């Protein structure tokens, strides 16, 4: 089974569970186009987008950056994280960038194979509580969550129909009659 298939299965199984009001509100904020006051810088958004492109790349379905996941991450970090958590997350992004620079260049300037190697190195860290692994795993969770709660993925990839069919409040009801002698009256 391909990684993309696993992600698709995960998303299909949990789409409704992953649509809390917070995700819907975050995507509404993304759609509004308003810039978050305590949001990520342009360089940080580029890093998030590059990492998102490694985690969920574009194939025959849209990738994470195609559906706007970096903007979703920006909203979550700026509006839902406490000041302490936001500061730690931003420092962790800096640690991811520093690891990439050890490979020779800023993350977004690395060749795709070098980006993948950097991510593999972070993912294979034995201590996920140490930076940059800690922030990477938080970021990966936000990327996957944002991807599968996006409207584009829900409709085009998962083909979720939240309200199947249609509601017809005046649908005719068939009249049933009771069998003779039963004493029940239907209708």
State the Cα angle at 33 between 115 and 23, rounded to 5°: 70
130 pLDDT higher than 50: yes
Q: Mean pLDDT lowest for which of 34-38, 56-60, 161-165?
A: 161-165
Mean pLDDT (whole number) for 148-155: 87
- pTM for this prediction: 0.73
- The distance from CA 56 to its chain's CA centroid, rounded to whole angstroms, is 10
**182 located within any domain:** no
**153 located within any domain:** yes
Query: What local confidence, expressed as pLDDT, does residue 151 receive?
Result: 86
Number of Cβ within a 10 Å radius of residue 54: 18
Q: Give yes or no for a cis peptide into 144 (omega within 30° of 0).
A: no
**169 located within any domain:** no
**180 located within any domain:** no
**33 located within any domain:** yes
Q: What is the pLDDT of residues 63-85, one digit of tens each?
A: 999 999 999 999 999 988 999 99
Q: Mean pLDDT lowest for which of 24-28, 47-51, 123-127?
A: 24-28
Q: What is the mean pLDDT of the chain?
A: 83
**187 located within any domain:** no
Q: What is the pLDDT of residues 7-47, one digit of tens each?
A: 555 554 454 444 567 777 777 777 777 777 778 999 999 99
Q: Contact 78/37 with Cβ under 8 angstroms?
A: yes
Q: How many helices (H) and strands (E) does the chain have?
A: 8, 0
Domain containing residue 144? 3-157
Query: What local confidence, expressed as pLDDT, does residue 4 receive?
Result: 58
**32 located within any domain:** yes
Q: Mean pLDDT lowest for which of 17-21, 94-98, 103-107, 126-130?
A: 17-21
Q: Contact 73/112 with Cβ under 8 angstroms?
A: no
Separation CA 104–CA 45 (nearest Å): 20
The total number of structural domains that make up the chain: 1
Q: Contact 97/107 with Cβ under 8 angstroms?
A: yes
Closest CA to 141 of 60, 62, 80: 80
**186 located within any domain:** no
Find the helix packing angle between 83-102 and 133-149, rounded to 10°: 110
Q: Which two tokens stand for residue 92?
A: 């962790």
């Amino acid at each position: 089974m391909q990684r993309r298939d696993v992600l698709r299965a995960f998303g299909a199984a949990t789409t409704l569970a992953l649509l809390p009001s917070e995700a819907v509100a975050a995507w509404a904020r993304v759609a509004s186009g308003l810039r978050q006051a305590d949001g990520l810088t342009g360089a940080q958004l580029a890093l998030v987008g590059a990492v998102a492109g490694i985690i969920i790349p574009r194939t025959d379905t849209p990738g994470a950056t195609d559906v706007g996941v970096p903007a979703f991450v920006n909203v979550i970090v700026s509006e839902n994280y406490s000041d302490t958590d936001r500061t730690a997350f931003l420092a962790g992004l800096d640690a991811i960038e520093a690891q990439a620079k050890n490979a020779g260049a800023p993350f977004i300037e690395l060749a795709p194979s070098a980006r993948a190697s950097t991510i593999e190195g972070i993912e294979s860290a034995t201590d996920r509580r140490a930076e940059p692994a800690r922030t990477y795993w938080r970021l990966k969770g936000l990327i996957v969550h944002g991807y599968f709660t996006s409207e584009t993925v829900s409709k085009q990839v998962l083909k979720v129909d939240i309200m199947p069919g249609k509601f017809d409040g005046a649908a005719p009801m068939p009249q049933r009659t009771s069998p003779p002698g039963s004493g029940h009256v239907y209708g």
